[in-house]
């Protein structure tokens, strides 16, 4: 009897795991939400009593901005850690605590080394703070943006709506700038470019993830001798990943190092990474007699992709904190507007890393029955595609949503698997009409969620930012 396989549930199950992750994020965020509410109440009281504090306005704004920025950084680190670490922990490639520490260090490194371009765009390209009449006014505009993002994230998470910090802070900056300077001062071209990036990056991630999956399945996962194929191709893949990542880091260090050094450094790193992976795979194959599971094959690659994704997350999302805060900090210490000090990038990176270490375990454990069950091969493709896409966006200074990029990777892997299966199996059962409609509804719901997240979040945070900015400027009289 012919065995008729049904694999058309694959993508829907993977999307269900993403939904499970979003629900888990809402539950894991609860202790941070209460912390956020306390922070917001404290800052509101501080602002209301600014005239009675006796301190300079700019110092009061710095204190309030520091508190809100720290909370935002912690919430970012705690919310998105599952994207970076979930697949590696789920595959048994690394234990929880070492994984949390590794990702936290990668996030801090990404923030300090690669976060400048996105931070500068958020600090000065949505509107020009130099147009404001005083440094204190610039501080309060950016404080309003931080507060708007914090208020919206706290509210949205409380009602179970998954939102992006990047979308929230962009809307907050635009709304606060609009309230302080008017319609003409906003750089609508920059906002349009950021919005286009939000739309395009999930598709880019999906294409990359699909291409990686095709290569991985044909060269390794479907080989007659998986162990032998893994010994040949996994060191090559990890070597290429390590080399490209090292070359990227070398290019970031161009003020301190000649750009031509990136190529030889990348080659050396690729050789070292490939050699280490080859030795590890050989040892594991010798121990278990040449038979090895997909999870064990991909352990080194999953750890490397977790490091890359942690770095990419730190590099891109640090701007959500450091962008507005750098304006507040600069105007508390000098009259030179909108330069991004290293202390702002490093401090924001530390708060993100702190959120990962302190609160990340809860989320990764809750997601354990969801995204960590995403097959190790698919998880590797999604992680690597997400990291590459976010790093590319960071290179161009564009803030993007890591979660939405990851969902794009899920779609890419799912559609690629279905295409490969249809191409390979001619005896497949015809898909029932009800099943076709069900799948369309499931997939449409996820596309709708992604679209609604930034269509709703940006206007909402813009309105909140406008209201807060008008109130603060009226209270302080600056």
Q: Give residue 3's pLDDT.
A: 44
4 domain residue, yes or no: no
Q: Is 476 left (phi over 0), alpha (psi -120 to 50) or beta?
A: alpha
Q: Is 73 left (phi over 0), alpha (psi -120 to 50) or beta?
A: alpha
What residue has token string 């509107």? 127
Q: Measured between alpha carbons, how far is 295 from 90 in angstroms, rounded to an integer? A: 9
Q: Give residue 99's pLDDT.
A: 86
1 domain residue, yes or no: no
Q: Give residue 204's pLDDT.
A: 95
CB atoms inside a 10 Å sphere around CB 225:
11
Mean pLDDT by groups of 10 residues along the chain of 478 residues: 46 53 52 63 63 63 84 80 71 80 90 85 80 76 90 72 80 92 86 90 92 88 78 86 84 67 88 86 65 69 85 89 87 60 85 82 54 65 87 88 82 81 62 56 60 79 93 81
State whether the Cα torsion 361-364-367-372 is positive or negative. negative
Residue 210 has, within 13 A of its CA and on its CB side, a CA count of: 18
Q: At what angle do helices 30-48 and 10-28 cross, to 10 degrees?
A: 50
8 A C-beta contact, residue 130 and residue 338: yes
2 domain residue, yes or no: no
DSSP per-residue string spanning 415-438: HHHHHHHHHH-SSPPPPPHHHHHH
Count how many domains the chain has.
1
Q: Give residue 368's pLDDT.
A: 40
8 A C-beta contact, residue 154 and residue 40: yes
Convert 278-308 to b/e letters by CB count within 10 Å (16 or more is b). bebbeebbeeeeeebebbbbbbbbbbbbbbb
Nearest-CA neighbor of 271 among 239, 301, 247, 294? Answer: 239
Q: Measured between alpha carbons, how far is 50 from 147 in angstroms, rounded to an integer? A: 16
Q: Measured between alpha carbons, how far is 94 from 307 in angstroms, rounded to an integer? A: 12
8 domain residue, yes or no: no
The radius of gyration of the chain from alpha carbons, rounded to an integer in Å, stands at 23
10 domain residue, yes or no: no
Task: Find the domain containing 75 and state its range.
Answer: 16-476
Q: Measured between alpha carbons, how far is 172 from 152 in angstroms, rounded to an integer? A: 9
**What residues pair up with 127 in beta bridges, in sequence order?**
186
The DSSP code for 225 is S
19 burial type by CB count under 10 A (0-12 exposed, 13-18 middle, 19+ buried): middle
9 domain residue, yes or no: no
């Amino acid at each position: 009897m012919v065995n008729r396989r049904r694999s058309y549930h694959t993508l829907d199950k993977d999307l269900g795991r993403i939904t499970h992750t979003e629900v888990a994020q809402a539950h894991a965020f609860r202790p941070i939400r209460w912390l956020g509410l306390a922070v917001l109440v404290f800052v509101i009281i501080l602002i209301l009593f600014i005239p009675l504090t006796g301190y300079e306005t700019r110092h009061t704004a710095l204190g309030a901005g520091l508190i809100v920025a720290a909370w935002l950084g912690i919430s970012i680190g705690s919310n998105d850690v599952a994207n970076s670490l979930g697949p590696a922990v789920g595959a048994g490639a690394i234990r929880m605590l070492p994984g949390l520490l590794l990702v936290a260090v990668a996030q801090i490194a990404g923030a300090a080394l690669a976060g400048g371009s996105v931070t500068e765009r958020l600090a000065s390209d949505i509107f020009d703070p130099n147009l404001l009449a005083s440094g204190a006014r610039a501080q309060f505009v950016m404080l309003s943006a931080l507060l708007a993002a914090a208020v919206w994230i706290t509210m949205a998470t409380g009602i179970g709506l998954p939102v992006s910090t990047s979308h929230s802070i962009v809307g907050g900056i635009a709304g606060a700038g609009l309230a302080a300077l008017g319609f003409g001062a906003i750089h609508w071209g920059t906002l349009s470019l950021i919005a286009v990036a939000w739309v395009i990056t999930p598709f880019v991630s999906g294409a990359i993830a699909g291409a990686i999956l095709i290569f991985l399945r044909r060269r390794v996962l479907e080989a007659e001798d998986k162990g032998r194929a893994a010994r040949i191709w996994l060191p090559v893949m990890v070597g290429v990943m390590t080399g490209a990542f090292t070359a990227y880091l070398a290019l970031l260090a161009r003020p301190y190092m000649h750009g031509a050094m990136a190529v030889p450094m990348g080659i050396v790193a690729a050789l070292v990474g490939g050699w280490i992976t080859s030795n590890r795979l050989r040892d594991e194959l010798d121990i278990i007699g040449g038979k090895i599971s997909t999870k064990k094959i991909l352990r080194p690659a999953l750890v490397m992709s977790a490091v890359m994704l942690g770095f990419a997350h730190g590099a891109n999302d640090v701007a959500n904190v450091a962008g507005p805060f750098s304006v507040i900090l600069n105007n508390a210490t000098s009259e030179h507007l909108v330069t991004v000090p290293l202390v702002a990038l490093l401090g924001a990176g530390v708060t993100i890393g702190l959120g990962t270490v302190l609160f990340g375990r809860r989320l990764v454990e809750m997601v354990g029955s969801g995204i960590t069950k995403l097959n190790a091969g698919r998880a590797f493709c999604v992680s690597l595609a997400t990291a590459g896409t976010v790093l590319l966006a960071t290179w161009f200074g564009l803030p993007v949503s890591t979660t939405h990029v990851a969902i794009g990777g899920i779609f890419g892997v799912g559609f690629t698997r279905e295409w490969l299966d249809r191409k390979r199996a001619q005896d497949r059962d015809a898909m029932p009409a009800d099943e076709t409609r069900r799948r369309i509804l499931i997939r449409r719901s996820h596309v709708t969620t992604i679209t609604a997240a930034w269509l709703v979040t940006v206007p909402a945070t813009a309105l909140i930012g406008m209201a807060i900015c008008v109130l603060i400027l009226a209270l302080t009289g600056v």
